[in-house]
Amino acid sequence: MDFKSYIRVIPDWPQPGIRFKDITTLLKDRRAYVAAVDALVERYRHERIDLVAGPEARGFVIGAPLAYALGVGFVPVRKSGKLPAETVEAEYDLEYGKDRLAIHKDAITPGQRVLIADDLLATGGTIATTVKLVRQLGGEIVGAAFLIELTYLNGRERLRDIEVTSLVRY
């Protein structure tokens, strides 16, 4: 399936010069959404995976159905202050400032094999921070799966030792 044809590109949003890749048009199409999740499932079907971790919010709409289809658990990675139990946190850089991601301290036990899933790989900051949190809890990274990769932002370089799968590349 040509997934790119289901992704709406919005010029100059959220600021001039940006060509925003809007996945809501893919998500609302039953066939395209199912086919995208199925394509990622097919890639990881034969890997030994215990959990899928996804950063909020769009990592939830990719990671949770992927975890379900693989028959494994899902771990949400959230912004600081959004999880109710004890967490570990890591800071990462934004274009204008910093932010923090958190994961429940008991979400991953040492040795569990974790696939990270999100909608988009851009500069790699969010995913590199997610990797750091998973590893801090003793998780082993199986790979990182994305609907979209913006190759011109070189996010893959920040994930050097991790196998990256993306369905669409710009």
Active site residues: 58, 95
Beta bridge partner(s), residue 78: 102
Distance between CA 1 and CA 7 in Å, rounded? 12
Place of tokens 């199912």: 34
Reported as type and span, the H/E element at residue 59 is helix 58-70
Nearest by Cα to 131 from 147, 142, 122, 119: 142
Give 134's contacts (C-beta < 8 A, 6+ positions apart).
Answer: 53, 103, 108, 114, 116, 141
Q: What is the DSSP letter of 71?
A: T
